[in-house]
Structure 1
Amino acid sequence: MKNKLKSFFLILLGTFLVSFGTYFFLAPNEIAAGGISGAAIIINSIFPKIPIGILMMAMEVVLFTIGIIVIGPVFGGKTVFCSFTISGMMLLLEELFPKLHPLSNDVLVQLIFGILISGLGMGIVFNQGASTGGTDIIGKIINKYFKISIGKSVLIPDIVVTAAASWVFGIDKGLYAILGVIINSTIIDKVIKSINTYKHVAIISNEGEKIKSYIVEKLDRSATVYYAKGAYKNNEREVITTVISRKEFFKLKEYISLIDDKAFITVNEINEVLGEGFQNII
């Protein structure tokens, strides 16, 4: 239940960041940096009476149906929630801040801020096994079948939207949009990699029993124990290895420093862990 609430909160946070970055930085400058939001900005510029939120909802209905069929109902259900949450947030922002003008005359700065914020949100959502809807569903399908990173997978359909942006808004806005989708692709991969980074820790200590108990009972993680012979004194020592998150590592390191400040610890950073207690293998 706790994990489900955490996932729900993270998805809600991610969708808010996508909505915020799009509405306050990208839409006022007519920067269609890919995705359904970009396509909606293009259509809205041609038919300004149709709200961006309504356009996004209409296009998402078709694409999330495809997502449910191709990827599965869990992904589809989460994506439906994300899609309509973003659309709803966009409609709410349009009501609260109507006829929003660019925040400054520097389009490039606003592009960077908009993409940084929305890209961070998309990375959080993707890491929860969902997508923000629209062309991101296409990206997720590409990621599933061609094993391309999710950031690069999202880039492929977004290039089509940016090409349309170049035709509608002119080559200058189109180039901004292309730059935007490239930055967005990079940010998504960086966010997911950062979230999924773990520490592989090996410990040699005279307080091995206490450390094992702390890992299992306090951190709720498992550990592997093996024995190695030192080359200098030729004595056999117990080596405790475990895989933990960054936050858990700081707690473990602090605990070890309190009970054995002469312990020997090696740490390796790993970007993906599959199996019980971590991500599912499939």
Structure 2
Amino acid sequence: MKNKIKDFILLFIGSVLVAVGTYFFLAPNKIAAGGISGAAIIINNLIPKLPIGGLMMSMEVVLFLLGIIIIGPFFGGKTIFCSFSISGLILIFEELFPKVQPINNDILVQLIFGVLICGVGMGIVFNQNASTGGTDIIAKIINKYFNISIGNSLLAADIIVTVAATSVFGLNVGIYSILGVIINCTLIDKVINTLNTYKQVAIISSEGEEIKRYIMDVLERSATIYYAKGAYNNNESEVITTILSRKQFQQLKQFIADIDDRAFITINEVNEVLGEGFTFS
């Protein structure tokens, strides 16, 4: 239950970032950087009476059903939560901050800020085995069946929207939209890789028993024990190996420093861990 609450908190944080980046940075400059939000910006420009948030909600239905059927109901449920959170937040922004204007005349700066904010938010959402809806669902399907990274899958799905943006808003804005899609897709892969980076730690210490208890009781992780013989003195030593998050590693490093400043520790970065105690999503 605690993990589920944490998941939905992260999903909401990601949704807030996507809504803020879209409404305050991309939409005022008519930058359709892919996705349903980009399509909504294009339609809103053609028919201003149709609100961006409402358009996004209405275009999600078919893709929701597609995601639920192909990827599964759990993915679909979390995606619905994210999508309606984003659309709802944008509708609220439209009521609280109507007719938002570009912050300044530098479209490139606003593009970068908008895409960075959206990209981080989308990376957080994808990392929770969900999507923000729209073309993200198509990207997730491509990722599942063709083993292409989420970022590259999204690039393939969003290129149609950027071409439409070029025809509606002109070549200048279209180029910015294409640049935004490329930055966004690259950033999403980077965020996902960063969030999934773990530390593989190997420890040789005279306080091995205390370290093992700390790993299991405090960090709530397991460990594997190997035995190695040193080449210098032929003494056999116990090698404790474990895989930890970056935060857990910092805790363990401080604990070892406090009890044995002569401990020998090697650390490797691991980009993905599957199996008991870790996710398969």
TM-score range, shorter chain: over 0.9
- Pairs within 5 Å for 1:69-148: 69-148=69-148
Equivalent residue, structure 2, for 1:258: 258
Indicate yes or no: 2:220 matched with 1:198. Answer: no
Equivalent residue, structure 1, for 2:60: 60
Whole-Å separation in 1 of the counterparts to 2:240 and 2:99: 61
Note the C-alpha offset of 1:2: 1.2
- Pairs within 5 Å for 1:1-282: 1-280=1-280
TM-score using structure 2 length: 0.99
Whole-Å separation in 2 of the counterparts to 1:108 and 1:95: 27
| Structure 1 segments (4+ residues) deviating >6 Å | none
What CA deviation, in whole Å up to 9, does each residue of 1:92-141 have, x standing for no partner? 00000001110110000000000000100000000111000000000000
For structure 1, the residue ranges without an aligned partner over 5 or more in a row are none
Note the C-alpha offset of 1:235: 1.0
Give the residue type in structure 2 aligned to 1:94. Answer: E
Whole-Å separation in 2 of the counterparts to 1:36 and 1:246: 34
Give the residue type in structure 1 aligned to 2:263. Answer: A
Q: Once superposed, what is the RMSD of the aligned Cα atoms?
A: 0.6
What CA deviation, in whole Å up to 9, does each residue of 1:41-77 have, x standing for no partner? 0000000000001110111011111000110000001
What SS does structure 1 have at the residue aligned with 2:102? Answer: coil
Note the C-alpha offset of 1:270: 0.5
What CA deviation, in whole Å up to 9, does each residue of 1:138-178 have, x standing for no partner? 00000000000111111111111000000000001000000
Whole-Å separation in 2 of the counterparts to 1:227 and 1:78: 45
Whole-Å separation in 1 of the counterparts to 2:68 and 2:253: 44
Give the residue type in structure 2 aligned to 1:10. Answer: L
What CA deviation, in whole Å up to 9, does each residue of 1:200-239 have, x standing for no partner? 0000000000000000001000000010010000111000
Whole-Å separation in 1 of the counterparts to 2:16 and 2:188: 16
Whole-Å separation in 2 of the counterparts to 1:41 and 1:137: 19
For structure 2, the residue ranges without an aligned partner over 5 or more in a row are none
Whole-Å separation in 1 of the counterparts to 2:87 and 2:261: 54
Whole-Å separation in 1 of the counterparts to 2:80 and 2:218: 37
Give the residue type in structure 1 aligned to 2:180. Answer: G
What SS does structure 2 have at the residue aligned with 1:33? Answer: coil
TM-score using structure 1 length: 0.99
